[in-house]
Structure 1
Amino acid sequence: MSESSTTAAGDCTEPRTPVTEAEVEALVRGICFKTGPPRTLGVEVEWLVRELHRPRLPVAPERLEAAYAALRTVPLRSALTVEPGGQLELSSPPAASLMECVRTVSADLDAVRAALRRDGLGLVGIGHDPWQSPRRFLRQPRYDAMEACLDRTGPAGRAMMCTSASVQVCLDAGYEEPGTLGHVRRWWLAHHLGAVLVAAFANSPLADGRPTGWLSTRQLRWTQIGTGRAGGPRLDADPRAAWTRHVLDAPVMCVRRDNGPWDVPDGLTFRKWARSRAPRPPTREDLDYHLTTLFPPVRPRGHLELRMIDAQPGEDGWIVPLAVTTALFDDPEAAETAYRAVKPLAERALTLPAPHNPLWLAAARHGLADGELREVAVACFTAALEALPRIGATAEVAGAVAAYLDRHVARGRCPADDVLDRLRATEVPVRGTDGHHGPGGQHGKNRKDVRS
């Protein structure tokens, strides 16, 4: 979820100089897209932490606290943070190349795994906890306020806080000028290719031990939280103008206080707050915090933060989405191929912003069983595979992408299909928890149609 890693302001900030609505608009426009040639990238990898030999059981909070205390003594280049439910996140420093990023995070993960192993714990890569209900590990004012705010739209918010994990790819915004690597094109591409990435890397088909009827239950949870908190802006305007308007009209999660619980207003947008200046005038620090409480699938933070990919299985599964996404954005030839490939998908994304439109919903529910998404995914993965040597990827990384293309994408599959296959082999199929059929029902029919 990455809220904890982006909350630089801390649990509370003494009110400083108030900001006006016009000043907020200028600030957001100035910081959301820092343009220039794409030169750096990064990745944030989240993991569930489980008992090594009993992964279905929750880890006692005392054991997590002791393990994380030990981890803080391990020298790492990546930033290590803990999410509200105890999930662990590593956020890489900006890297000058794909392979620099891969090597840095791989070395840090090796060190983290070794330290956790001494405590009998391990990392599990899956987008939504398949067995445990939400249970909050961190008890801090901002998470108390977040929970109270998200509870207004139902239980999905707690699930996102405590039972989800992702791979988030961070890329430079791109050139100011139009073109293949321009920020306007990259913003548009991120919102349409993002649905393809959801489908290709869906890895969260279970909740409470049962199929939900969605291959990415994590993405389903985002849609259930609502458009103001977890949606993106419309793509029919200049990206800066669209995002600035979205920020101002998004609901304020909380008003921080020096002492006691934080206020959780209902229906107060940042625009209304700046105009009314009540319950107190908002400050620049309040704006900075507000930006961290918005969770669109593509978040502009000077760079572009692509937040739609489920955590991946295996120790190195995160490398494939990082490599594919980087190649499709930063190699000009691959970026042009991806842009042309996803253009036909745009009609399915016109009615609502991502992730609430039919394109993103189909990606989360059916994955690459959706024939059009499968066709586009094959084209994009093929273009990425051809581009990887041009951006300095090793043969090992290219081989991992090729293997993923052959095993999953070309066959209309994603990691969630593997999870369901294993479940089907050991249990009687059941109906999904949201009322939709599980692996033996309608989703299975859709998958069969695509592969026939």
Structure 2
Amino acid sequence: MTFVVASQPGRARGGPDDQRVLASASSAALHIAGGTLADGPAGRVGLEVEAHCFDLNDPNRRPGWSELNEVIASVGSLPGGSAVTIEPGGAVELSGPPAVGPIPAITGLITDRNVLQSVFADAGLGLVLLGADPLRRPYRVNPGPRYRAMEQFFVASRTAGAGAAMMTSTASIQINLDAGPRDGWADRVRLAHALGPTMIAIAANSPLLAGRFTGWQSTRQRVWGQLDSARCGPVLGANGDDPCTDWARYALKAPVMLVHSPDAVAVTEHVPFADWADGLVLLGDRRPTTADLDYHLTTLFPPVRPRRWLEIRYLDSISDALWPAVAFLLVTLLDDPALAELAAEAVEPVATAWDLAARVGLADTRLYTAATRCVAMVADRVPAELSESMQRLLQNVETGRCPADDFADQAIQRGIDGAVLAMLRGAG
């Protein structure tokens, strides 16, 4: 999940049109649909990896905001060009620049992650790749007004627990891909969604949250599923034939979370953006502008989010041994035309089984079958530098195990503290 907003409200598009007052929900829909996806060739890949930050000597301590910023300030420019940011709960996100193809994107992020880990280790801190914080209770360290307002929104919408856990206790691997040529958008977006449950089962890596087993292999996905489906559910419409219209409809139906007056202020009543745009409700004693609409889009967190490119957000954060293979797998299934149709057929029986995948992972026969078919399609296409990672992934999938099974075993054997410490020290 990426909460960082690169531009200030009213500057999302960088021109005088940013403050244009929207005349209606119809004009808002046109604004959204026009910027949903960018027509062009596919091929570029951007990767983001989030890691929970722990004290190497006391894994129950959550490093503070100032402490984390001091460490990041000492990192300097990374060789692969990645940016480093801090999530609301103190997780550290490494965001690589777009690269042509998965291999440059993966190898660049590996290089930068090694440098980042070394700098954090020198500061007595470690970065753990898990989909949810298994040890500490949700707690926000980022003092920004956006996140305070988000907390207030979640309290008002009766999702305070899930909202706090989502913001401060979950971590993912995000894959960003070109939208591709316009005439292929519908199939590409449908496949990105259809692959979701199978990929969640393959990468599930969060069996614990805040010191307790949850009964879910991907507690991260469970947490997101507990939030409002109008904000965090899949975007696809009835048939998925028009992704731009689907996104516009989704965004206008979603309730407004924050309004700038000028700082972020939580909207504590259920107000779909369409109602604000049509003037049925005034927020901040005014009608919305295009800048308000652009900002509203940053508060929507579906598993596949269109931002002119496709932001794929449904993977748990997983170990350095596995995430390169998982990233290569998903990118190849979407970007290789020879495999896309085969992949769609393989995952069709479980294309909407989001909760089942999060709960049981590969223990479900249909998910297991889809996963083994998908990995088999790609395994012999992997380059030498990723062969070890792919072999490990292939072995996991063939034996019906996801990363959550390995971490659960460690937590039972060593205790949760001991399992986290072992990951921090590279001992298991």
TM-score (norm 1): 0.84
Deviation (angstroms), 1:76: 5.9
Aligned to 2:87: 83
Aligned to 1:8: 6
Q: How does 1:38-437 map to 2 (within 5 A)?
A: 38-71=42-75, 77-151=81-155, 152=157, 153-177=159-183, 182-237=184-239, 238-258=242-262, 262-276=265-279, 278-279=282-283, 280-313=286-319, 315-346=320-351, 349=352, 359-388=353-382, 394-406=383-395, 408-426=396-414
Tell whether the 8 Å contact from 1:146 to 1:254 is kept in structure 2 after alignment. Answer: yes
In 2, Cα distance between the equivalents of 1:378 and 1:399?
A: 17
Tell whether the 8 Å contact from 2:204 to 2:404 is kept in structure 1 after alignment. Answer: yes
Render the CA deviation track for 1:276-322: whole Å, top value 9, x for unaligned.
17231211211111111001011111111110100012x35321221
CA gap 1:84/1:93 in 2 versus in 1, 3 angstroms: same
Aligned to 2:426: none
1:17 aligns with 2:5: no
CA gap 1:399/1:192 in 2 versus in 1, 3 angstroms: same
Two-structure CA RMSD over aligned residues (Å): 2.1
Deviation (angstroms), 1:95: 0.7
Deviation (angstroms), 1:11: 6.8
In 2, Cα distance between the equivalents of 1:387 and 1:268?
A: 49
Render the CA deviation track for 1:182-202: whole Å, top value 9, x for unaligned.
221111111111110111100
Deviation (angstroms), 1:331: 1.2
In 1, Cα distance between the equivalents of 2:415 and 2:135?
A: 15
CA gap 1:301/1:165 in 2 versus in 1, 3 angstroms: same
In 1, Cα distance between the equivalents of 2:78 and 2:333?
A: 34
Which amino acid is the alignment partner of residue 336 of structure 1? E
Deviation (angstroms), 1:242: 1.2
Deviation (angstroms), 1:235: 3.5
Deviates more, 1:272-281 or 1:364-373: 272-281
In 2, Cα distance between the equivalents of 1:10 and 1:61?
A: 21
Tell whether the 8 Å contact from 1:126 to 1:204 is kept in structure 2 after alignment. Answer: yes
Aligned to 2:425: none
In 2, Cα distance between the equivalents of 1:115 and 1:80?
A: 12
CA gap 1:326/1:76 in 2 versus in 1, 3 angstroms: closer
Deviation (angstroms), 1:62: 4.3
Tell whether the 8 Å contact from 1:9 to 1:289 is kept in structure 2 after alignment. Answer: no
In 1, Cα distance between the equivalents of 2:266 and 2:166?
A: 21
Which amino acid is the alignment partner of residue 401 of structure 2? R
Deviation (angstroms), 1:252: 0.7
Q: Secondary structure at the match of 1:377?
A: helix
In 2, Cα distance between the equivalents of 1:344 and 1:306?
A: 20
Deviation (angstroms), 1:273: 0.8
Q: Secondary structure at the match of 2:99?
A: coil
Tell whether the 8 Å contact from 1:230 to 1:296 is kept in structure 2 after alignment. Answer: yes
Tell whether the 8 Å contact from 2:62 to 2:90 is kept in structure 1 after alignment. Answer: no
Deviation (angstroms), 1:19: 2.1
Structure 1, unmatched stretches of 5+, are 350-358, 389-393, 429-452
Aligned pairs, number: 403
Q: Secondary structure at the match of 2:100?
A: coil
In 2, Cα distance between the equivalents of 1:281 and 1:156?
A: 30
In 1, Cα distance between the equivalents of 2:126 and 2:233?
A: 33
Deviates more, 1:139-148 or 1:337-346: 337-346
In 1, Cα distance between the equivalents of 2:309 and 2:65?
A: 35
Which amino acid is the alignment partner of residue 420 of structure 1? A
Q: Secondary structure at the match of 1:306?
A: strand
Q: Secondary structure at the match of 2:175?
A: strand
In 1, Cα distance between the equivalents of 2:326 and 2:33?
A: 29
CA gap 1:16/1:265 in 2 versus in 1, 3 angstroms: farther
In 1, Cα distance between the equivalents of 2:388 and 2:289?
A: 50
Tell whether the 8 Å contact from 2:63 to 2:90 is kept in structure 1 after alignment. Answer: no
Structure 2, unmatched stretches of 5+, are 13-17, 417-428
Which amino acid is the alignment partner of residue 226 of structure 2? Q
Aligned to 1:441: none
In 1, Cα distance between the equivalents of 2:6 and 2:247?
A: 21
Deviation (angstroms), 1:414: 0.3
Q: Secondary structure at the match of 2:301?
A: coil
Render the CA deviation track for 1:332-372: whole Å, top value 9, x for unaligned.
222122111012224xx3xxxxxxxxx11110000000110
Which amino acid is the alignment partner of residue 290 of structure 2? R
Q: Secondary structure at the match of 2:51?
A: strand
TM-score (norm 2): 0.89
CA gap 1:427/1:165 in 2 versus in 1, 3 angstroms: closer
Runs (4 or more) in structure 1 with deviation over 4 Å come to: 11-15, 72-76
Deviates more, 1:10-19 or 1:373-382: 10-19
Aligned to 2:424: none
Identity value in percent: 38
In 2, Cα distance between the equivalents of 1:62 and 1:290?
A: 29
Render the CA deviation track for 1:407-448: whole Å, top value 9, x for unaligned.
x101111010011112333469xxxxxxxxxxxxxxxxxxxx
Which amino acid is the alignment partner of residue 422 of structure 1? Q
